[in-house]
Amino acid sequence: MALTESNMLPIGTTAPDFTLPDAISGKTLSLDELKSDVATVVMFICNHCKYVKHINGELVNIVKKFQDKGVSFIGISSNDVENYPEDSPEQMKIKAAELDYTFPYLYDETQEVAKAYDAACTPDFYIFDKEMKLVYRGRMDGSSPGNDVPLTGTDLRGALRAVVAGEFVSEIQYPSMGCNIKWK
C-alpha cells in the first residue's frame, strides 16, 4: 500500500459522465441521475484502505449535514477486486450498511471512471457546482492515521459551505493522501 497524493484535476473541469452499478441497491445509476442542482461530490473510496477507514465516521457526518442542504454525494470504488476482495461489490454493500452510508456506493469494475477523473488515491474528493464544474478537489482535512491531527473535515466542509452559499471556493486546496487505487 503506497502512500499516494491526488493528481488535482484542474478547477473548472466538467464532471466526466459515467454509468455504474450501485453495490447497495443493485441498480445501475448515472451521474445525470445522481447529480444535484446545488453541488455534487464524487468520492473515490474503498473498504480496505486505512486512510478511508480513518475518515469514515466524519465522512458520514459531513454527508448527512450537507445532504440536508441539497448536496448529492456519490461514492465510487475502482479497486481491482481480484487482488483486493475486501473491495468487492458484495463487501461494499455490507460496509455501506455497517457505516450507515446514505449515498450510492458505485463499483467501477473497468476503472475507466477513475481514469476519467484522474483519481489516484483513496480517499479522493471532487466537488462540482450546479453546472457540474469542478470547484474543489483534494483532501477532507490534514488528519491521517497516526499523525495526531484532529479529524474535523475542515477543508471539505469549508468548500461545501462556500458552494452551497454560492460563494467563491478558495483555490488554496491540498491534495488528498491515501492508498493508491489498486489498478489491474
C-alpha cell at 89: 461489490
CA pair distance 130, 183, nearest whole angstrom: 31
What pLDDT does 2 receive?
Answer: 66
What pLDDT does 4 receive?
Answer: 85
Inform me whether the pLDDT recorded for 47 exceeds 90. yes
Closest by Cα among 65, 43, 77, 75 to 176: 43
Mean pLDDT, range 16-20, rounded to an integer? 98
- Among 10-14, 142-146, 159-163, which is the least confidently predicted range? 142-146
E strand spans, 51-120 = 71-77, 105-107
What pLDDT does 1 receive?
Answer: 53
In SS3 terms, 74-101 reads as EEEECCCCCCCHHHCHHHHHHHHHHHCC
Inform me whether the pLDDT recorded for 126 exceeds 90. yes
Q: Where are the domains of the chain?
A: 3-180
Q: What is the pLDDT of residues 85-96, one digit of tens each?
A: 999 999 999 999
Q: What is the pLDDT of residues 73-85, one digit of tens each?
A: 999 999 999 999 9
Instruction: Enter the DSSP assignment of 51.
Output: H
Look up the CATH number of domain 3-180.
3.40.30.10
Inform me whether the pLDDT recorded for 60 exceeds 60. yes
Average of per-residue pLDDT values in the chain: 96
C-alpha cell at 176: 488528498
What pLDDT does 122 receive?
Answer: 97
What pLDDT does 5 receive?
Answer: 87
